């Protein structure tokens, strides 16, 4: 797991924003969240609570950023949670794909797909846009195109450069659990963590450690009923 803010954006204002939100999101370790914060995001071992989508709040968090939507409109963003105005106050929504934010959520997880880093939190993926010098909300890597009316066959999913296909019709939840558990096992076996820059090892070791990680995770997933290439 990575906890960084791009240096170019780490102004005093953003530092205060991130500190306040980071403290607010530690409820999952203090006996449970307050009302509305019932969504536990466990994907990729993220393990943090967020408000459920559709839940209304009377007031917005004090530390927030106003974001323009890709197709117009106005949203509010705070600590990885997105809000829109509604008839009963401010409603929690899914992040609008194509929107830009100046800073990542305080607790995000870096995951790699095809060697490209994505920053994940609260069921949302972000990538760094060098053109805008901000983070863009993007579709989940490998998801079928938006607007498709027919469900395509399950595509191979990716873990680093390893392509994984569920041969036994495993559910998405089961796939996520299996991949995470195999990732943790392969990480322990190889000493390589693909969610970290250079795998968390020295550049001279990265190539051999990455290969060892891929062999380990492939063996683990094949043992659980997946086709790995």
Provide the residue ranges of all domains of the chain, joining segments of one domain with +.
7-106, 157-228
Count CB atoms within 10 A of the CB of residue 76. 17
Is residue 191 pLDDT above 80, yes or no? yes
Residue 174 has pLDDT above 70, yes or no: yes
The span from the CA of 183 to the CA of 159, in Å, is 9
Which residue in 114, 97, 123 sits closest to 176, CA to CA? 123
Which has more confidence, 15 or 31?
31
CA angle 175, 178, 183 (to 5 degrees): 120
**What is the pLDDT averaged over residues 60-67?**
88
Candidate from 7-16, 132-141, 207-216 with smallest mean pLDDT? 7-16
- Identify whether the C-beta of residue 80 lies closer than 8 Å to the C-beta of residue 50: yes
Better pLDDT: 16 or 154: 154
Q: Answer yes or no: is pLDDT of 57 > 80.
A: yes
HEC letters along 82-148: EEEEECCEEEEECCCCCCEECCCCCCEEEEEECCEEEEEECCEEEEEECCCCEEEEECCCCCCCCCC
Say if pTM beats, i.e. exceeds, 0.75.
no
Model pLDDT, residue 121: 92
Mean pLDDT of the chain: 74
Residue 222 main-chain phi, psi, to 5 deg = -65, -35
Q: Give the whole-angstrom CA distance, residue 175 versus residue 173.
A: 5
Give me the pLDDT at residue 33, please: 62
Residue 39 pLDDT greater than 60, yes or no: yes
Predicted pLDDT at 125: 94
Closest CA to 1 of 113, 134, 141, 107: 107
Whether 19 shows a pLDDT value over 60: the answer reads no
Average pLDDT value for residue range 107-128 = 87
The Cα–Cα gap between 187 and 147 comes to: 37
67-81, 82-96, 194-208: range with lowest mean pLDDT? 194-208
* More confident call, 163 vs 120: 120
Read off φ and ψ for residue 28, nearest 5 degrees: -65, -10
- Whether the pLDDT of residue 141 is over 60: the answer is yes
Higher pLDDT, 91 or 175: 91
Q: pLDDT tier at 145 (50, 70, 90 boundaries)?
A: very low
Average pLDDT rounded to a whole number, residues 31-54: 80
b/e 21-37 (16+ beta carbons within 10 angstroms → b) = beebbeebeeeebeeeb
Inform me whether the pLDDT recorded for 4 exceeds 80: no
């Amino acid at each position: 797991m990575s906890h960084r803010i791009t240096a170019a954006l780490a102004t005093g204002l953003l530092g205060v924003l991130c500190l306040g939100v980071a403290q607010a999101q530690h409820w999952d370790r203090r006996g449970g969240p307050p009302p509305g914060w019932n969504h536990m995001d466990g994907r990729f071992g993220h393990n943090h609570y967020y408000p459920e989508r559709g839940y209304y709040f009377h007031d917005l968090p004090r530390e927030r950023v106003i974001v323009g939507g890709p197709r117009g409109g106005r949203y509010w963003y705070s600590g990885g949670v997105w809000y829109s105005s509604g008839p009963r106050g401010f409603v929690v929504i899914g992040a609008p794909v194509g929107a830009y934010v100046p800073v990542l959520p305080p607790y995000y997880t870096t995951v790699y797909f095809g060697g490209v880093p994505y920053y994940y939190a609260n069921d949302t993926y972000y990538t760094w846009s060098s053109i805008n010098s901000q983070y863009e909300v993007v579709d989940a890597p490998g998801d079928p195109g938006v607007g498709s009316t027919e469900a395509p066959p399950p595509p191979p999913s990716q873990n680093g450069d390893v392509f994984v296909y569920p041969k036994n019709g495993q559910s998405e939840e089961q796939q996520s659990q299996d991949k995470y558990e195999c990732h943790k096992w392969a990480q322990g076996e190889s000493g390589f963590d693909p969610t970290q820059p250079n795998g968390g090892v020295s550049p001279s070791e990265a190539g051999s450690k990455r290969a060892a990680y891929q062999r380990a995770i492939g063996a683990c997933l094949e043992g659980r009923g997946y086709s790995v290439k």
